[in-house]
Copies of this chain bind each other. A is one copy, B any other.
């Protein structure tokens, strides 16, 4: 796809916010601007309804409550891991789909958790007070401690249903406490065949026109019963109309719109290329492995899907950063802010050095990056079994410390989620783990060099593949009962374990922790402190007309159902069910499932299928409801167009588009393809 140059002026103007730009927090929506640009804006009741009707899936997706009995609408690709786990060699649920005929058949998704935002509280003063005057490790420790304390106090004794996170907004400009209701009993009600959920596969990912039924229905349970949900979003079968004003509520994962130029440069020159090259080669390995057999393809399916999706995202980000106009605009924007600071002596004194401090910290970090990735982040050991082992080894030590002194991922507030993952009964395939681990060990050797002390110590006289096979064949950590035993047994049990991954994690832990501490001290703490200063400078210059970078917390974006102009071609905002059959070739990934081929004559070919809108979203928004001005679900967000990827750094109103499944196509296919009458009735409130 061709990227059109951003108009430089768009980014240069310091206060102008464009139509549809922004992922706004629900306690700070730009109401006046929405009224002006959209002709409408949500009132307080609708805002509350949107907040309570929206959901977060802890693994990285969004969703909405769509019935009073706990029914939740999200994307197929947000539940694919569960669908895969429900599959066996003899029954492939990804291939065949899943429909619970009744509630008793709704199938548990062991690793899933659904969160609903209940309240937002400003805790900026508490965080500022705790870190005041500190730097380096003292800053990091105090920062982590206050966040752990605030979260733990908020959760109180009810960690089964309460979840609290301290959210860093505006990169330190504000800290807010987000309190969630937690649903840990999540069951699958419906998922279509992957062939239609992901029709067009990787080639069509981030493309539009598009023809995907990327939907799934799950249900949250409490005490063994469907959860009672008061504030759900009604589903509107008529769906979205061209030009209609629409809101998207969801949990965009991360944007980098307020990074400094030095941070963007580090991404462009180092971090993203390194990641992309690794992903590309790993992708080649998995794609070829998948070709070695049906079962191999099934085992690798979900890993390959996320990998290809991530590859396209990072590639799009690299392209955006290599767009000279975008980069020049970022430089100009930073220069304007720095001039503003320089022109106010008091501000200049306290805030003027922030940019240089970040740049210097990044330069010092650069020689550490590869070892940090491989050792501290554990990329050298790409096996679920190693992740489990590291969690057990560290958990034993950390849980014996006071909450506020722990590594943040072991803070009390996060333990229920961590335990759900650690004790997940999801299958681990030894053959596949060997492929993953062998590759990552080989890359460790390549990236650090065969003579690096870590490499020599880990590999010894063995090849990466030999070692991977030996460890995986020798480990018993696929056994959930053993994990529980080691988790409950604490440090003594862990230290006595002869499991090769436990021994590996133990042998690496001192060095890995020391490196992590060093990076926190020399890079993270410096960036956090100085990003706070830059955020304050930006508030001083722009007031509160700005929205914070995405943080996988609930945001509202507004826009219209509209296409865009791609070069000389106008792209209309809708595709139809009929168009799907024209696009189908019969060959993967453009092969339709039998259910669709059989239902063709019954389907309305003119029914809108997918649509595009000008809402500003990013990865993490998958599964978000698209609602009309009355708060009715008219679409299900599952993607953005190719230009939306550059939205990580800047929103381009001419090109950036959200892609959604039309509500009418959901109803039409539940009815005529899947005969899912009970679920359809529930969805339509009948």
Contact = CB atoms under 8 A, between A and B. Distances in A.
Interface of A: 1-2, 200, 202-204, 207, 269-270, 273, 276-278, 280-289, 291-292, 315, 318, 322, 367, 435, 439, 445-446, 449-451, 459-463, 465-466, 585-588, 590
Residues of A contacting B: mostly: helix
27 contacts: A202-B446, A203-B445, A204-B450, A207-B451, A269-B322, A270-B322, A276-B277, A277-B277, A277-B280, A281-B281, A281-B287, A282-B284, A283-B284, A284-B284, A284-B286, A284-B287, A284-B439, A285-B287, A285-B288, A288-B289, A292-B292, A459-B585, A461-B587, A462-B587, A463-B585, A463-B587, A463-B588
Contacts of A449: 1, 203, 207
Contacts of A280: 277-278, 280-281, 284
A550 to B, nearest CB: 26
Interface centre among A204, A289, A367 (most CB of B within 10 A): A289
A358 to B, nearest CB: 16
A203 B446 contact: yes
A449 B205 CA distance: 10
A315 B274 CA distance: 10
A566 B286 CA distance: 37
A587 B466 contact: yes
Nearest to A588: B463
A57 B459 CA distance: 38
Contacts of A318: 273
Contacts of A435: 288
Nearest to A200: B450
Contacts of A270: 322
B2 A367 contact: yes
Contacts of A451: 207
A328 to B, nearest CB: 13
A93 B665 CA distance: 61
B269 A461 contact: no
Contacts of A461: 585-587
Nearest to A367: B2
Contacts of A446: 202-203
Contacts of A588: 463
A276 B276 CA distance: 10
Contacts of A590: 450
A461 B556 CA distance: 41
A535 B461 CA distance: 53
Contacts of A207: 449-451
A367 to B, nearest CB: 6
Contacts of A586: 461
A446 B277 CA distance: 16
Given A203-B446, A282-B284, A286-B288, 9 more contacts: A1-B449, A2-B367, A273-B318, A280-B284, A281-B287, A283-B284, A284-B284, A284-B285, A285-B287
Contacts of A284: 280-288, 439
A284 B435 CA distance: 11
A207 B286 CA distance: 29
A533 to B, nearest CB: 24
Contact of A288 (B2, B273, B288, B315): B288
Which 7 interchain pairs have the tightest Cβ spacing? A284-B284, A288-B288, A280-B280, A463-B587, A281-B284, A461-B585, A284-B285
Contacts of A276: 273, 277
Contacts of A277: 276-277, 280, 315
Contacts of A460: 585
Nearest to A290: B288
A590 B203 CA distance: 40
Contacts of A278: 280
A616 to B, nearest CB: 24
A103 B465 CA distance: 42
Contacts of A459: 585
Contacts of A315: 277
Contacts of A585: 459-463
Contacts of A292: 292
Contacts of A273: 273, 276, 318, 322
Nearest to A277: B280
A186 B548 CA distance: 68
